[in-house]
């Protein structure tokens, strides 16, 4: 029985690619050095899958930034501002699109469906000139073949590429991105032709937009695209891969009718309805079913007995020789290898499977279907499943009762936001257009060393506290010198905004090397929520009070919200996600109340990932938004009117959930705006009334570029055209931890200068 992996993590087991990229960007290593690291990682990945017995091994899933940007490079769809003159796209143009440079901003970045992975959004227009400008897919296929591994080259499908794109600034609203289909298909044909000439026998097109709610003309585009590609694809086996959700019935009908397609890949973990659809509607005769039964988005060991049962039921639909065992999606959304976790609790470790282990699970299921079941392997898996179900560390009756008692109240603060803002202003006495930052300040090498040495017990707690206090003092002084109105302590004690809280909450476990790529070189190490969640002790009060004692200005207490902790963790799969979220909300509520009691007047509860968790199907939106927004309100429903509650959101499309954002009932929301061409402001231009404080980001912190005072002032004036002066805040898009002080200080200097300039202009017009 054949087996298949949709995609694999790129960063390496010890984040080798991250460090190589950052060294290259800093000018400390050459392009050749970078490519050597990348080539070694690719070779290791292909060898691992080949030795594990995987038949359909992917290539062209390795990327220096993301697979959509790779496709933009392949198509030569470079916006004019990058001054690309044609030919093969090199590192300079590629990374300028991703990160910006000294003279031009980066392209927009947004979340990849409902994951914490990001992609660079293509900017297209009727004037976009396409050309075959990156031969990466072909060169990587040849590279693997030279190593003795015949791979399945993977391309982002042409229709999904266009549906994930956006119209360039200034393009008429009537412009349809799908009108460009005939312009990009010739390049896809060139790529396919070269892959065939190189010896490829299979090709995988990722068309994940098929799981979304698509209009009839969008579904028709799939039929048109693959009909046009049919002759070029002749002689190749063609797999169309979908993932992350159920495929709707109409989309399923379209997919299984596509010309020239040999196989269909489905996520059967998050797509349980698709499983029933396959059984009822069937698969066209002679076609392959790539059954994604091993979860590519979580770290729990697969229930092999249950998956085998599912696969056996599908054999009756497609036949034994046409069923391929697969992952539900790319394994890039999970950690790399459990072997590297030498300090993880042995019981919890037995419940887990990272990417390397999932490759083994896929192969074991394939062999079992072929009658070669590894009895010992399956028995060990069954024992681990039973251990997890019965472990007393998973369940806490007191926590479950507290969460169950939440039903029956919406946990909304009693006083309307307008009255709360008046009470807060009397206490805080802020100027119009108050300035603030989002939370973190640059994480220097010295700071990381201090945290590392403290964890390794190389320095005492007293030495650690002294070092962190010194860093907080430095950050406070910088903000005071810059004349920022509401300060932050810079979060020097935190490596990661979710990991930090998880380490202090019960029900969480942590890895040493469980890194997952978020975007570019940015990696996160998601906590593992294995049991019921509670807060044994205060988590941030000590540091927040210390920082507030250093300044007469308001100091924000900085917390991560329950929905973001949930969405940025590997979550237990033995109870509904909302139940876990309510437990986290109650824990954060205790922290909020302790901060308030400690004299902190402004408390920020970040919900950066609230939009990220929105289901891909509209029919499921209302239920998710109800419990997600409710969870946020639980955290702060008990504070006084004079305590100002902030929240922050970043890098998603917020326009379709603006009413839910309003329903969160925060006093102030800071929200990403600058990198997305200020499309957030269009909501307010279209008549949505927002009465709470709001700070749309005035500059992009994910780019090293430093915006001028005039540029920031122009952004603020655009905001004032649609937002009232009394509610507008001035702040960056996101936290500053990934930037250097040489970038942060001048950018914040210009931000404060822009706010003061506009205050003066507003005063003179009164």
Q: How many residues does the chain have?
A: 766
Q: Is 418:336 a contact under the CB 8 Å cutoff? A: no
Q: Mark residue 705 as left, alpha or beta (left: phi above 0; alpha: psi -120 to 50; beta: remaining).
A: beta
Q: Is 458 helix (H, G, I), strand (E, B) or coil?
A: coil
Q: Strand (E) positions, 407-551?
A: 506-509, 516-519, 522-524, 528-534
Give dist(CA 26, CA 694) in Å, integer.
35
Q: Is 105:53 a contact under the CB 8 Å cutoff? A: no
Q: Strand (E) positions, 436-584?
A: 506-509, 516-519, 522-524, 528-534, 556-560, 570-571
Handedness of CA 23, 25, 29, 33 (dihedral sign): positive
Give dist(CA 437, CA 71) in Å, integer.
34
Q: Residues annotated in the binding site for 5-methyltetrahydropteroyltri-L-glutamate, as ranges?
A: 18, 116, 522-523, 568
Q: Is 722 helix (H, G, I), strand (E, B) or coil?
A: coil
Q: Is 66:73 a contact under the CB 8 Å cutoff? A: no
Q: Residues annotated in the binding site for Zn(2+), as ranges?
A: 648, 650, 659, 672, 734
Q: Which residues contact 53 (CB under 8 A, 6 or more apart)?
A: 3, 363, 366, 367
Q: Which of 4, 489, 630, 702 is catalytic?
A: 702
Half-sphere exposure of 158 (CA within 13 A, CB side): 26
> What distances in angstroms separate CA 759 from CA 207, 481, 721, 726, one per listed residue?
49, 19, 15, 11
Q: Residues annotated in the binding site for L-homocysteine, as ranges?
A: 438-440, 606
Look at the block and give the residue holding tokens 């991250």. Answer: 18
Distance, C-alpha 58 to centroid of its chain: 22
> What distances in angstroms separate CA 68 from CA 64, 97, 116, 284, 623, one per listed residue?
11, 12, 15, 30, 30
The token pair that represents 321 in the structure block? 């020789």
b/e per residue 216-229 (b: at least 16 CB within 10 A):
eebbebbebbbebb
Give dist(CA 756, CA 387) in Å, integer.
61
Q: Is 205:168 a contact under the CB 8 Å cutoff? A: no
Residue 535 phi, psi (nearest 5): -110, 105
Q: Residues annotated in the binding site, as ranges?
A: 18, 116, 438-440, 491, 522-523, 568, 606, 648, 650, 659, 672, 734
Give dist(CA 526, CA 585) in Å, integer.
18
User: Catalytic: 702?
Assistant: yes
Q: Strand (E) positions, 405-471?
A: none
b/e per residue 95-114 (b: at least 16 CB within 10 A):
bbbbbbbeebbbbbbbbbbb
Q: Residues annotated in the binding site for L-methionine, as ranges?
A: 438-440, 491, 606
Residue 522 phi, psi (nearest 5): -75, 120
Which positions are annotated as active-site residues? 702
């Amino acid at each position: 029985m054949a087996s298949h992996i949709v995609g694999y993590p790129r960063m390496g087991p010890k984040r080798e690619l991250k460090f190589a990229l950052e060294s290259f960007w800093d000018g400390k290593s050459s392009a050749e050095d970078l490519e050597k690291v990348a080539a070694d990682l690719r070779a290791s990945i292909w060898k691992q899958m080949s030795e594990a017995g995987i038949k359909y091994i992917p290539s062209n899933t390795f990327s220096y930034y993301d697979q959509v940007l790779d496709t933009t490079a392949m198509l030569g769809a470079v916006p004019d501002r990058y001054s690309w003159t044609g030919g093969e796209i090199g590192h300079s143009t590629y990374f300028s699109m991703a990160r910006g440079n000294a003279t031009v901003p980066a392209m927009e970045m947004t979340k990849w469906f409902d994951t914490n992975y990001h992609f660079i959004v293509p900017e297209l227009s009727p004037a976009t000139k396409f050309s075959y400008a990156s031969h990466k897919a072909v060169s990587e296929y040849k590279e693997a073949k030279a190593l003795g591994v015949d791979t399945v080259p993977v391309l982002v499908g042409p229709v999904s590429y266009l549906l994930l794109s956006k119209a360039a600034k200034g393009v008429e609203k009537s412009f349809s991105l799908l009108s460009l289909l005939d312009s990009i298909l010739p390049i896809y044909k060139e790529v396919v032709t070269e892959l065939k000439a190189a010896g490829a026998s299979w090709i995988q097109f990722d068309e994940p937009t098929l799981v979304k709610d698509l209009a009839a003309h969008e579904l028709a585009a799939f039929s048109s695209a693959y009909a046009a590609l049919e002759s070029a694809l002749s002689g190749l086996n063609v797999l169309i891969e979908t993932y992350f959700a159920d495929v709707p019935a109409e989309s399923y009908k379209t997919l299984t009718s596509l010309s020239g397609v040999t196989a269909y890949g489905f996520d059967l973990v998050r797509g349980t309805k698709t499983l029933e659809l396959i059984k009822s509607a069937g698969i066209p005769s002679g076609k392959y079913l790539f059954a994604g039964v091993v979860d590519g988005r979580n770290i729990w060991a697969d229930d092999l007995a249950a998956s085998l049962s599912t696969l056996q039921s599908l054999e009756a639909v497609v036949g034994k020789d046409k069923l391929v065992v697969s992952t539900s999606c790319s394994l890039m959304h999970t950690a790399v290898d459990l072997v590297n976790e030498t300090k993880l609790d042995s019981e919890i470790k037995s419940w887990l499977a990272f990417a390397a282990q999932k490759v083994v699970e896929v192969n074991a299921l394939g062999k079992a279907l072929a009658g070669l079941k590894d009895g010992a392997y399956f028995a060990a898996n069954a024992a681990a499943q039973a251990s997890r179900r019965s472990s007393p560390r998973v369940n806490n009756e007191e926590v479950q009762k507290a969460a169950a008692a939440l039903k029956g109240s919406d946990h909304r603060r009693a006083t309307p936001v307008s009255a709360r803002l008046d009470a807060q202003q009397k206490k805080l006495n802020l100027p119009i257009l108050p300035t603030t930052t989002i939370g973190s300040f640059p994480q220097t090498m010295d700071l990381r060393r201090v945290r590392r040495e403290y964890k390794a017990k190389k320095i005492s707690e007293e030495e650690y506290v002294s070092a962190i206090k010194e860093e907080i003092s430095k950050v406070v002084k910088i903000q005071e010198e810059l004349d920022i109105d509401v300060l932050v302590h810079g979060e020097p004690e935190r490596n990661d905004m979710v990991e930090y809280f998880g380490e202090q909450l019960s029900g969480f476990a942590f890895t040493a090397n469980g890194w997952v790529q978020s975007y570019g070189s940015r990696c996160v190490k998601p906590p593992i929520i294995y049991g019921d969640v509670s807060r044994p002790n205060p988590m941030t009060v000590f540091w927040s009070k210390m920082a507030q004692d250093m300044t007469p200005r308001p100091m924000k207490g900085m917390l991560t919200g329950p929905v973001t902790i949930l969405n940025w963790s590997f979550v237990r799969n033995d109870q509904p996600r909302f139940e876990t979220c309510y437990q986290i909300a109650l824990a954060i509520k205790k922290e909020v109340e302790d901060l308030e009691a400690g004299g902190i007047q402004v408390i920020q509860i970040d919900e950066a990932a609230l939009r990220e968790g929105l289901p891909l199907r509209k029919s499921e939106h209302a239920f998710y938004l109800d419990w997600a927004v409710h969870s946020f309100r639980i955290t702060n429903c008990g504070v006084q009117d004079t305590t100002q509650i902030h929240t922050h959101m970043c890098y998603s499309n917020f326009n379709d959930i603006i009413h839910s954002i309003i329903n969160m009932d925060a006093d102030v929301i800071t929200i990403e705006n600058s990198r997305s061409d200020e499309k957030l402001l269009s909501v307010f231009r279209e008549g949505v009334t927002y009465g709470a404080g709001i700070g749309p980001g005035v500059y992009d912190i994910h780019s090293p570029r430093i915006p001028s005072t005039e540029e920031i002032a122009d952004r603020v004036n655009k905001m004032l055209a649609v937002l009232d002066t009394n509610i507008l805040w001035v702040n960056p898009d996101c936290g500053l931890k990934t930037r250097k002080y040489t970038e942060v200080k001048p950018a914040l200097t210009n931000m404060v200068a822009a706010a003061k300039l506009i205050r003066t202009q507003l005063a003179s017009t009164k």
